[in-house]
Amino acid sequence: MATHPDLTERIESVVASLGFGFPTAARRGRRAEWPYVPIIDHGHRTEQIRGVAYATRSEAIDCAKRVIMARQEALRRNLNDPRYRALREQHGLPRELGATV
């Protein structure tokens, strides 16, 4: 569904303003071949991405970056979905997609 250009810019500013965390890695893997696990650092807490481990730290950080980007894209998609009126209102966007308030 095509949205108004102004609304698209406002959605991008909402996504940019939210803290999705910073990608990092830790040496916590259970197997010697894959010692690094991806971590998202939210400042006051950290979140380990469960179920994956990597041989190098850079691979683990890349995984954490992909998770952050996927979460940002999911929020963009939900804010552009007509069914998520309350989510748009929560972030100060117009309730209906056709509105340009």
User: How does pLDDT run across 5-15, given as a tens digit for each residue?
Assistant: 788 899 999 99
Residue 6: what pLDDT? 83
Residue 40 lies in a domain: yes
Residue 97 lies in a domain: no
Q: Which of 23, 54, 57, 26 is nearest to 41 (CA)?
A: 23
What's the count of helices (H) and strands (E) in the chain, helices before strands? Answer: 3, 3
Residue 96 lies in a domain: no
Residue 71 lies in a domain: yes
Range of the domain at 84: 5-90
How sure is the predictor about 56, in pLDDT bands with cuts at 50, 70 and 90? very high
Sign of the CA dihedral 60, 61, 65, 68?
A: positive
Residue 3: what pLDDT? 60
Please compute, for residue 69, the number of CA atoms within 13 A of its CA located in the half-sphere on the CB side.
6
Q: Cα(27)–Cα(5) distance, rounded to whole angstroms?
A: 44
Residue 22 lies in a domain: yes
Domain tally, the chain: 1
Residue 64: what pLDDT? 97
